[in-house]
Amino acid sequence: MTLKRYRREELEKSSSSSDDDEPLYVPLKERRKEMFQKLQNASDKKRKPSKEEPKKPEPLMKVKEPEKEVKKPVEARVPDWNKPTSVDDSSISMPAPPPVPEPKPMAQRSLYDEHKAARLEDVKNELLHNSAKKQEAEEKKILEGVRQERALVSDQQLAAGVVYSQPLQTSWQPPKWMRDLGDKYAKDVRKRLKIIVEGEGCPPPCKRFRDMKLPACLISALKRKGITTPSPIQMQGIPAAFTGRDMIGISFTGSGKTLSFSIPLIMAALEQEIEMPFVRDEGPFSLVICPSRELAKQTGHELQYLADHLDAGGFPSLRVAVAIGGTPLKETISVVRRGVHILVGTPGRLMDMLQKGMIHLSCCKQLVLDEADRMVDMGFEEDVRFILSYFKAQRQTLLYSATMPMKIKDFAKSALVHPLTVNVGRAGAANLNIRQDIEYVLDEAKVVTVLQMLQKTSPPVLIFAERKRAVDKVHEYLLLKGVECAAIHGGKDQEDRMEACRQFRAGEKDVLVATDIASKGLDFPEIEHVINYDMPEDIENYIHRIGRTGRGNHQGVATTFVNSKSCDKSILLDLRGLVLEANQSVPVFLQDIEPDLPEHEMNEKGCTYCGGLGHRITECPKIESVQRLKTNAKKDYIAQGAQDY
C-alpha cells in the first residue's frame, strides 16, 4: 500500500511538472463509465411512457363507402379500337410549372440576353417603321387624289405658257450693321422667336420698326395704336415683302398679320407715287382680296389710317378704296376716278367691276390674299382665278392666314415664284393667350347656359353659332333677359351688319351674336370672352373663332359647348389635341374618347388636309364633305341641263 501511494504521488508530481498543453490521462474504467452513462441518458429520452401515464386515443379513420357501380350501356362498354387509349389525367400528378424568371439586372445579364433583347427591339422598331411608311404612302396617295389639279393662275397665262422664273426686284436692303453680322444673327433671332423660314435668300428679321427704314410719321402712327415693337410675323414678314419676294405668312390669330402686309403695300404705293404720280382712272397698284365684307372694310380702314398719317407727315397723299357688296358702288367709283393706289374688296364685287371695265389691273404689281385658305374652302377659287386673268405682267403675291394646311400650301405655291414661307409656331395652332374651357351641355340646355357663361367675365363678349336660326334664337333670348346685344349673319342687310359691328366696337352693345362671318380676321377691341354656342364642323373654324379674343398681349377666355349627339368624334379628338398642345387641362369626357388609330400613328403632324391633330387624312371628315358637295353639284348639273353653269 505504501508503494502504491508513493507511486501515485510521484505520478501526480510528474504530471504537474509537465507542459500545461499536454492533455490529462483518463483511466479506462472512468471512460467506460462515462460512455455507459451517455448511452443510458439517450435511452431514457426514447423510452416509452409508463403505465401510469394515460395513453392518448388515436383518431378514428373514416372508411370510404364503396361506390355503387353504374352499369354502362353496351355501346359504352365496347372499346373503340380506332381511338387511341386515353389516360386518366386525374391519377397522374403533373409537376407545377416553373416560375417565370424575373428580368436580370444589367450587371447580371449575359451577352446572349443582351443580344436577344436588342434583336426584339430592332424587330419592333422595324414593324413600326414599316407601318409608318405604309401609312405615309397611303396618305400621300390620298392627298394627291384630293389636291387641286389646276394651278392658281389664269387661263390666259396657262394658254400662253408664261412662266416666271425670277421674283421681282426692289431697292430695299436691311441696315449695313445687320448685313455685316451675317446669317448667324438671323438664325439666332429666328430660333429665339420660333420663326421657321422656308426658301432661299430670306432677309434677316428686324426687331425694330426703325431698322425697317420706315418714316418717322408712320412709326408715330403705330405708337398711337400702342404698337411699339413688331411681332414675330412682322419682324420677318415685312422685310421679306420689302424685297419683292412672293411669300406665304402663317401665324396664330391676333399676331398682327394685317399690319405685316399693310406696311409693305403702303410703302410700295408711296414709292410709286413719288416716282410717277397716279392720274385719273389709273390704278390700283396693289390689290387685296378678303373672304368677307367685314374683313375687307376693316382692312381698308387700317390702310387708310396709315395713308392719312403719311399725308400729315408731308408725303404725297395715297388713296385707298373698298369694293364690297351691299354698299353703293358710287363710293368706290369716286375714289377710282381720282386714281387709286390700293384697292381692297371681296371676290364678287371685284369681278363685277372688272367685267364692267370700271377698274383695270394693267399696272397692278402687288396681290394679297388675306385668309387665303378660307377663300379656297369657301368656293372662291374660280373667282380668284378669274381676277388673276386681268393681270398683264408679273406681280408680287402675298398669302396670309392662321391656318394653312399642306393641301392649300402646295396649291398656293403653284401661283408663286420661288416663294418664302414664314411660319411662327405650328400652322393651325391656337393662341396660347387663350384659356380654352370645354363644357358638356345638352342641346336643350344651351340657351340657358349661355346666360350663365356671360357672368364669367366682363363685356365685351362674342357668341358664335353655326346656323342663322341659332343666332336669332340666342339674340332674342338675351334681349328678353335685358342683355344689350346685337346680331349679324349672312341673312341680314349689309347696313344692319355694319351698324351692329359699329355699336359693338363703340361699346354700345355688350354682346355680339354672329355666325362664322365674324370669325375671319375681324379685330374687335379687347374682347374678354368668346362663347361657341355649338362646335363648328371644321377645327379650322374653331381656331378662327376663339382667335377673336387674346389678341396681341391680352388674355382671353373661350368657352365651347359640346355633346356627343351634335359633335362628331373626329372633331372632339381634334379639340382635345389643341387643348393638350396648349398645355391646358382636358375635361374627363374628352379624355375617355379613344382614337380609331393606334397611339404610335397619332403624331404631331395630324391631318395634312385640314390640319386637325386628332385624326389622320385617312379618317378626315372634311374630305367626305367636300366629295359630297362635288357629287351633289354634278347631280344638279345633270338634272338642270347645265342651266346654271
Domain boundaries, the chain: 155-424, 434-567
CATH of 155-424, one of 3.40.50.300, 3.30.1370.60, 3.40.50.12780, 3.40.190.10: 3.40.50.300
Name the grid cell of 161. Answer: 405658257
Phi, psi of 560 (to 5 degrees): -125, 130
Q: Which residues of 13-34 are buried (b: 16+ CB within 10 A; e: fewer)?
A: eeeeeeeeeeeeeeeeeeeeee
pLDDT, position 316? 92
Report the predicted TM-score, pTM, of the whole model to 2 decimal places.
0.71
pLDDT tens digits for 217-229? 999 999 998 899 9
pLDDT, position 102? 58
6 DSSP assignment: H
Return the residue matching grid coordinates 393667350. Answer: 433
- 3 state DSSP class of 247: strand
Q: Residues of the chain with pLDDT > 90: what percent? A: 31
pLDDT, position 537? 82
78, containing H or E segment: none
As a whole number of angstroms, the distance between CA 530 and CA 513 comes to: 10
Q: Is the CATH number of domain 434-567 3.40.50.2300?
A: no
Residue 82, pLDDT > 70, answer: no
Q: Are 155-424 and 434-567 in the same CATH fold?
A: yes
As a whole number of angstroms, the distance between CA 614 and CA 566 comes to: 18
Residue 5, pLDDT > 70, answer: no
Name the grid cell of 585. Answer: 387641362
pLDDT tens digits for 180-203? 888 899 999 999 998 999 888 899
> How many CA atoms lie within 13 Å of 421's alpha carbon, on the beta-carbon side?
16
pLDDT, position 642? 36
For the segment 70-97, the average pLDDT, to the nearest whole number, is 48
pLDDT-derived band at 488, boundaries 50, 70, 90 = very high
Residue 100, pLDDT > 60, answer: no
pLDDT tens digits for 222-262? 999 889 999 999 999 999 999 999 999 988 888 888 999 99
For the segment 393-419, the average pLDDT, to the nearest whole number, is 79
Return the residue matching grid coordinates 392720274. Answer: 279
- Give me the long-range contacts of 214-217 (CB less than 8 A, separation at least 24): 214/263, 214/267, 215/310, 215/313, 215/315, 216/313, 217/309, 217/310, 217/312, 217/313, 217/314, 217/315
pLDDT, position 45? 65
pLDDT, position 598? 53
pLDDT, position 3? 43
Name the grid cell of 267. Answer: 410703302
pLDDT tens digits for 584-596? 888 888 888 876 6
- 3 state DSSP class of 69: coil
- 3 state DSSP class of 265: helix
